[in-house]
Structure 1
């Protein structure tokens, strides 16, 4: 993963699909009450996610800026290459913009999931605290 070989957009798309599936499992565990998250740890995670989302937003802006036809000449090869570059930057599927958009969505879903886990932790803490107060009286 961290070798000198560049990651191809199609490979990144597959990795994002796997990550999204993992997030769905995590969300299920949280929604079923099997997993909660201490708010302090959750805040640290959410801060890291916010920084990553900001960075991805910058990448998306750059990719969208590249998604235009480059002036490569008025000939068949120039037109073909300009179209190819435009699609690779801003097209559908495995273009840079599409992959970055998918990655940003996974980050946002992760942030939402962390927020939900923190909320459930607080609810559990409140119920436990109420129970102890009732026992003490």
Structure 2
């Protein structure tokens, strides 16, 4: 059993891998010239990624509060429960905090990929306009 399985975040880790794969695909398509997006659409997609990053920031604050959970008493059961919450929050690479930060980073990469696609679109559009002005087609 991996630490992600032990902390209960195995599905979240798999979801993050899928998103990472999608980001890599976008970057590959942009890099090979197979994907260029209308700048407005790309900007909207990038802004949506940034909105999700902000929403994850709120979730990150809430998850961070689990590290200092109080009020469960001094009895062993209460202390064990508090410890389990702390482990869920900070469980190394499989804790909630790390997963949320990783997701924020992945969304930032995706926003950058969308902006890269828009940049390529603009460059192609400008090249075509230059070619038309020079009579090349």
Matches within 5 A, 1:104-115: 104-115=104-115
2:90 aligns with 90
1:37 aligns with 37
Q: What are the superposed Cα offsets for residues 11-43 of structure 1, whole Å, 9 maximum, x if unpaired?
A: 011111121012112211111111111101112
1:118 aligns with 118
Report how many aligned residue pairs link the two structures: 129
Which deviates more, 74-83 or 114-123? 74-83
* Deviation of the 1:46 alpha carbon: 1.9
5+ unaligned residues in a row in structure 2: which ranges? 1-7
5+ unaligned residues in a row in structure 1: which ranges? 1-7
* Deviation of the 1:75 alpha carbon: 4.2
Q: What are the superposed Cα offsets for residues 44-80 of structure 1, whole Å, 9 maximum, x if unpaired?
A: 1122222111111111111112222535333443332
1:79 aligns with 79
User: Would you say the 8 A contact 2:46–2:112 is kept in 1?
Assistant: no
TM-score (norm 1): 0.84
TM-score (norm 2): 0.84
User: Would you say the 8 A contact 2:47–2:111 is kept in 1?
Assistant: no
RMSD, aligned CA = 1.7
What SS does the corresponding residue of 2:74 show, helix, strand or coil?
coil
Higher relative contact order (CA 8 A, sep 6+): 2
Q: What are the superposed Cα offsets for residues 94-123 of structure 1, whole Å, 9 maximum, x if unpaired?
A: 322122112111211110100110111111
What SS does the corresponding residue of 2:35 show, helix, strand or coil?
coil
